[in-house]
Amino acid sequence: MSNSSLLDRYAALDSAAVSDALDQLGLPAGVGGIRPVWGTTAVVGFAVTVGLEPRSGRPAGAHIATTAIETADEQSVIVVDNQGRTDVSCWGGILSLGAARRGVRGVVADGVCRDVAEARELGFPVFSRGAVPATARGRLRQRATGEPVEIAGLTVEQGDVVVADETGLAVVPRERAEEVAGIATAIVARERAIADEVRAGARLSHAMHDNRLAGEREAAR
Can you give the binding site for Mg ion, defined by CB under 5 A? 92-93, 115
CB nearer Mg ion, residue 17 or residue 109: 109
| E strand or H helix at 167 | none
Q: Rule CB under 6 A: say whether 169 interacts with ligand OAA.
A: no
Minimum Å distance from CB 121 to ligand OAA?
13
Contact residue for ligand OAA among 6, 99, 136, 156 (CB under 6 A): 136
Largest CA distance in the chain: 66
Give me the residue whose beta carbon is nearest to ligand OAA. 92
- 82: DSSP letter: E
Per-residue contact flags (x/-) with ligand OAA for residues 112 to 131, judged by CB under 6 A: --xx----------------
The partner residues of 35 in beta bridges, in order of sequence, read 128
CB nearer ligand OAA, residue 86 or residue 135: 135
CB nearer Mg ion, residue 51 or residue 93: 93
Residue type, 186: A
Dist CA 174 CA 162 (whole Å)? 10
**Nearest partner of 220 among 28, 21, 27, judged by Cα:** 21
Q: Rule CB under 6 A: say whether 93 interacts with ligand OAA.
A: yes
| E strand or H helix at 177 | helix 177-199
Q: Rule CB under 6 A: say whether 92 interacts with ligand OAA.
A: yes
Residues 6+ apart with CB under 8 A from 195: none
Helices and strands, counts by H and E, the chain:
8, 10
Q: Rule CB under 6 A: say whether 135 interacts with ligand OAA.
A: yes
Binding site for ligand OAA (CB under 6 A): 89, 92-95, 114-115, 135-137
